[in-house]
Chains A and B, each alone.
Chain A
Amino acid sequence: EDQVTQSPEALRLQEGESSSLNCSYTVSGLRGLFWYRQDPGKGPEFLFTLYSAGEEKEKERLKATLTKKESFLHITAPKPEDSATYLCAVTTGNQFYFGTGTSLTVIP
Chain B
Amino acid sequence: EAGVAQSPRYKIIEKRQSVAFWCNPISGHATLYWYQQILGQGPKLLIQFQNNGVVDDSQLPKDRFSAERLKGVDSTLKIQPAKLEDSAVYLCASSLNPGGWGSPLHFGNGTRLTVT
Known A42-B109, A44-B105; further 4 A-B contacts with Cβ < 8 A: A41-B109, A43-B91, A96-B45, A100-B42
Complex contact B99–A87 (CB within 8 A)? no
Selected contact of B100 from candidates A4, A31, A43, A87, CB within 8 Å: A31
Enumerate chain B interface residues (CB-CB to A < 8 A).
4, 33, 40-45, 56, 91, 93, 99-101, 104-110, 112
Q: Contact check, A95 vs B56: say whether CB atoms are below 8 A apart.
A: yes
| A46 and B33 alpha carbons, distance in the complex (Å) | 15
User: Contact between A95 and B45 (Cβ–Cβ < 8 Å)?
Assistant: yes
Q: Is B105 touching A96 in the complex (CB atoms < 8 A)?
A: yes
Confirm or deny: A78 has a beta carbon within 8 angstroms of a beta carbon on chain B.
Answer: no
Q: Which residues of B contact A45 (CB under 8 A)?
A: 107
Task: Indicate whether A98 reaches chain B with its CB closer than 8 angstroms.
Answer: yes
Complex CA gap A93/B33 in Å reads: 14
Contacts of A89 in B (CB 8 A): 42, 105
CA distance A95 to B104 in the complex (A): 12
- What are 18 A-B residue pairs whose CB atoms fall within 8 Å in the complex? A4-B42, A31-B99, A43-B4, A43-B93, A43-B107, A43-B108, A44-B107, A49-B104, A89-B105, A92-B99, A93-B99, A93-B101, A94-B56, A94-B99, A95-B99, A96-B33, A98-B43, A100-B40
